[in-house]
Amino acid sequence: MRPRLHIALAFFSLPALCQSTSDLSFDVASIKPSAPGLRGGIVRSLPGNQTYIARNMPLRMIMTVAYTVTDRQIAGGPDWIANEPFDIEAKAERPHSTDELHKMLQRLLEERFQLKVRREQRQLPVYALVVGNGSARLQEHDPEDIDHPPIGPGPNGRGLAGRNVSMPYFAFVLSRLLDRNVIDRTGLAGTYDLTLDYAREQAVRIVGPGAAPAEPPGPEGPTIFQALRSQLGLRLESAKGPVDFLVIERVERPSAN
């Protein structure tokens, strides 16, 4: 089993900037193999929205951030893209929106790793993240704060805790934890501070389209489905929806900086 790693991926919006997407690129970028023996890793934009970093992360994991997909949505490629970690530091001349930073990170990977992917879309079973009966129980975060740190473990070492979290990002994190992609259908446009305490390794049975699981809590605590309902006022419904896939057609190790 691969170690759990902190992944930062934000879906907030900054004021529109007049620049063609085709012109977007980092001004300075360094890519090098990580030092051997390191544990853990991270991929995130730094406060200020000019710099993206990766520390001790394999290309396949970095791709999940750059292209906003889960690992199961990536097909093909040699083994080293999942096993050899890299350090990346890429800096732009000025701040950019998160969508622009992701485009820039994609371009960097495509140029330095000679990465070529083919995109496919399939209609598959998904979970829809929706507001439960009543209103969501979420603490709103200061909209002026542009630092979006990665969601990590909760205060007791299990579950999740995040600050300045958008619902699309939260749905993406849930997609990484569950056996299906999660699509945000909450209609909540803000960012929030949240903590979700649940027992990780519990099987869940979906009883039909649109139904939510209703099994009793196990001895380790509530399932993630139950915790969403009771702690955040949200729920996951079984649905069908579009899921994007990336098929790797070409990739090479990067040349030395």
What is the predicted pLDDT for the residue at 255?
77
What is the predicted pLDDT for the residue at 13?
33
DSSP 30: E
pLDDT surpasses 50 at 4: no
Q: Is 234 exposed, middle or buried (0-12, 13-18, 19+ CB in 10 A)?
A: buried
User: Tell me: the pLDDT tens digits for 110-159?
Assistant: 999 999 999 999 999 999 999 998 899 999 999 888 787 888 888 877 89
User: Tell me: the pLDDT tens digits for 95-116?
Assistant: 998 889 999 999 999 999 999 9
Residues 107-128 as b or e (16 or more Cβ within 10 Å = b):
bbbeebbebebeeeeeeeebbb
In whole numbers, what is the pLDDT of the chain averaged over residues? 84
What is the Cα 115 distance to its own chain's centre?
Answer: 20
Q: Given pLDDT bands bounded at 50, 70 and 90, which one contains residue 2?
A: very low
Q: What is the pTM of this model?
A: 0.73
Q: Average of pLDDT values for 37-47?
A: 90
User: Tell me: the pLDDT tens digits for 46-87?
Assistant: 988 899 999 999 999 999 999 989 999 999 999 999 999 999
pLDDT surpasses 50 at 214: no
User: Tell me: the pLDDT tens digits for 159-180?
Assistant: 999 999 999 999 999 999 999 9
Q: Average of pLDDT values for 34-47?
A: 91
What is the predicted pLDDT for the residue at 149?
82
At how many degrees (to 10) do helices 59-66 and 98-112 cross? 140
The C-alpha torsion from 38 through 87 and 8 to 174, rounded to 10°, is -60
With pLDDT > 70 as the criterion, what percentage of the chain qualifies? Answer: 82
CB 219 within 8 A of CB 189: no
User: Tell me: the pLDDT tens digits for 215-233?
Assistant: 444 557 899 999 999 999 9
Q: Given pLDDT bands bounded at 50, 70 and 90, which one contains residue 257?
A: low
What is the predicted pLDDT for the residue at 211?
36
What is the predicted pLDDT for the residue at 218?
52
What is the Cα 170 distance to its own chain's centre?
Answer: 8
What is the predicted pLDDT for the residue at 207?
33
What CA–CA distances, in Å, run from 26 to 95, 103, 220, 223? 11, 10, 46, 42
What is the predicted pLDDT for the residue at 145?
85
Amino acid at 236: L
